[in-house]
A and B are shown apart, each in its own frame.
Chain A
Amino acid sequence: MSISDGDRQIIAAMQEGLPLASRPFAAIAAQTGLTEEALLHRIAELKARGVIRRIAAAPNHYKLGMTANGMTVWDVDVSRIAELGAKVGALPFVTHCYERPRALPHWPYNLFAMVHGATRDEVEAKRGEIAAILGSACRAHDILFSTRILKKTGLRLKQKG
């Protein structure tokens, strides 16, 4: 574990979210026994280390009318995956893009790109754009539409001690 107990306490105080109030960090500081200034300094360090990626809103795609969510999966030539993955990841409608191991023989796909859209047709059209980028480097592909959110929570840290 590369985080200190002090950092853990700060993360725990913020994992439910940041207050929507004029001085949100002062409110968190009060909970952790730090001054606002000291807390801001510690958060800046956590950001520099990559522990906190950003402080931002997580939008609800469904409420924004993006009700179709397709996980597109691709069997891509490994020698070209870095180059092609970067291109797919840069597409504005791709929200996540990863290379992952195949699970042969059941699962030949090694590139995963999440695509959101208002309708399944729209997602299918976007899938076509990805297929065009991958071209002959892609041997097979599939799309898995989500049919139900079964659980969605943020990161939960176990309380220590």
Chain B
Amino acid sequence: MTLDETDRVILNRMQEDLPLCSAPYAAVAAELGLDEADMLDRLARMKEERVITRFGPFFDAAAMGGAFCLCAMEVPAPIFETVLTKVNAHPEVAHNYERAHRLNMWFVLATETPEGIQVAADAIELETGIEVLRFPKLQEFFIGFRVAA
């Protein structure tokens, strides 16, 4: 789909926090000088077209007592799909990317307890016979999550 200028203004604003009030979209529409119904239509269309993959709260698993961990594996090409099926079958695997590197599978584990990370990573090692390198965050530097649409 092609985004017009109004779509872009909406998308840029909606990557920031929604006001916490009874009619939050009306508040944002007023801020942008738009009509609420028109803005909701555009948001629904962008979601339908998957320009927006999700609209809602961003949770921090660590603040809930849980944990995230970036993990990497060196998966031989001939068994890549087999290993992928085994890895993705774990509900703790939140994101998984293939990358052009010797370490070619990179995924994030999100678990409800810190111990859950080791349990899930160990299980994947056992099932696949491939070492799971673990890269937990030691320090986070400002997440500039926004993308200029």
Asked if A85 and B139 sit within 8 Å, CB to CB, the answer is yes
Smallest Cβ-Cβ distance to B145: which chain A residue: A95
- Report the contact-size class of chain A (Cβ under 8 Å from the partner): 35 or more
Q: How far, in angstroms, from A20 to B125 measured CA to CA in the complex? A: 41
Asked if B60 and A51 sit within 8 Å, CB to CB, the answer is yes
Asked if A2 and B64 sit within 8 Å, CB to CB, the answer is yes
A101-B16 CB under 8 A given contacts A26-B22, A60-B52: no
Give me the interface of A with B, judged by CB distance under 8 Å: 1-3, 11, 14-18, 20-26, 36, 40, 43-44, 47, 49-61, 63-64, 66, 69, 71, 81-82, 85-86, 88-92, 94-101, 103, 106-107, 110, 112, 116, 142, 144-158
Asked if A145 and B22 sit within 8 Å, CB to CB, the answer is no
Q: Does B30 contact A (CB under 8 A)?
A: no
A85 in complex: contacting residue of B1, B25, B40, B141, CB < 8 Å: B141
Q: How far, in angstroms, from A93 to B103 measured CA to CA in the complex? A: 24
Q: Does B149 contact A (CB under 8 A)?
A: yes
Q: How far, in angstroms, from A50 to B99 measured CA to CA in the complex? A: 31
**Count of B interface residues, CB-CB < 8 Å:** 73
Give me the interface of B with A, judged by CB distance under 8 Å: 1, 11, 14-18, 20-26, 36, 40, 43-44, 46-47, 49-61, 63-66, 70, 72, 84, 88, 91, 93-101, 103, 105-107, 110, 112-113, 133-145, 147, 149
Return 24 A-B CB contacts under 8 Å, by A number. Answer: A20-B25, A20-B55, A21-B40, A22-B23, A36-B22, A54-B17, A59-B51, A63-B1, A64-B149, A81-B139, A86-B142, A95-B144, A95-B145, A100-B70, A100-B136, A101-B136, A103-B134, A112-B70, A144-B99, A147-B100, A150-B105, A151-B107, A154-B54, A155-B59
